[in-house]
């Protein structure tokens, strides 16, 4: 497994960066069996013409998007006990609700910091309400 953190922001720019990373990785090693991008849905629609450039990149790379609705913090929130059904309508509210329930949360968090809180049961809870996440876990055969 190879993971690259691209940051946040404009979805097309992130897809373009992912495309470069995929090409670089596949040039230096062998082709990736599976490719997934984790993107925030709150940025879609802000620049509709730019949004149209996303699908051609996905088609060309074979990558699949895991949409975080509305943003990363909202997705993380749905991992926490009793929070699977929460759907904050904005990123700001998602951050507020997440920090209220996870006082140690800070952005960014390393994979090891996230793993300390989000065990397999928490992943299963979020995947139960997030079809893209469930698809990802099925594809990598986690559960």
Task: Indicate whether 109 and 139 sit together in one domain.
Answer: yes
Domain count for the chain, please give it: 2
Give the integer Cα–Cα distance in Å for 115 and 92: 23
Asked if residues 81 and 72 have their Cβ atoms less than 8 Å apart, the reply is no
Task: Indicate whether 143 and 112 sit together in one domain.
Answer: yes
In 3-state terms, what secondary structure has residue 80? coil
Task: Indicate whether 44 and 109 sit together in one domain.
Answer: no
Q: Would you say residue 35 has pLDDT above 90?
A: yes
Task: Over range 59-72, report the average pLDDT.
Answer: 96
Please, where are the H alpha helices in 3-109? 11-28, 48-51, 54-61, 72-77, 91-101
Task: Indicate whether 2 and 58 sit together in one domain.
Answer: yes
* DSSP assignment of 93-117: HHHHHHHHH-TT--SS--HHHHHHH
> Which one of 68, 91, 123 terminates a domain?
68
Task: Indicate whether 82 and 48 sit together in one domain.
Answer: no
> Which one of 68, 98, 114 terminates a domain?
68
Q: Would you say residue 111 has pLDDT above 90?
A: no
Domain ranges, residue 32: 1-68
Is the C-alpha dihedral spanning 13, 17, 22, 27 positive or negative?
A: positive
Task: Indicate whether 97 and 138 sit together in one domain.
Answer: yes
Q: Would you say residue 3 has pLDDT above 90?
A: no
Task: Indicate whether 30 and 78 sit together in one domain.
Answer: no
> Which one of 68, 87, 107 terminates a domain?
68
Task: Indicate whether 79 and 23 sit together in one domain.
Answer: no
Task: Indicate whether 107 and 128 sit together in one domain.
Answer: yes
Task: Over range 132-140, report the average pLDDT.
Answer: 96
pLDDT tens digit sequence for 78-97: 999 999 999 999 999 999 99
Task: Indicate whether 39 and 93 sit together in one domain.
Answer: no
């Amino acid at each position: 497994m190879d993971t690259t953190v691209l940051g946040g922001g404009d979805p097309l720019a992130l897809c373009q960066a992912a495309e470069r990373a995929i090409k670089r990785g596949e040039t230096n090693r062998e082709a990736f069996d599976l490719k997934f991008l984790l993107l925030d849905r709150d940025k879609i629609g802000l620049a509709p013409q730019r949004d149209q450039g996303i699908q051609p990149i996905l088609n060309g790379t074979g990558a699949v998007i895991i949409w975080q609705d509305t943003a990363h913090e909202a997705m993380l929130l749905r991992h926490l006990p009793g929070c699977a059904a929460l759907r904050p309508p904005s990123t700001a509210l998602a951050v507020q609700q997440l920090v209220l329930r996870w006082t140690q949360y800070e952005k960014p968090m390393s994979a090891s910091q996230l793993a300390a809180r989000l065990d397999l049961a928490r992943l299963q809870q979020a995947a139960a309400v997030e079809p893209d996440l469930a698809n990802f876990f099925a594809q990598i055969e986690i559960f």
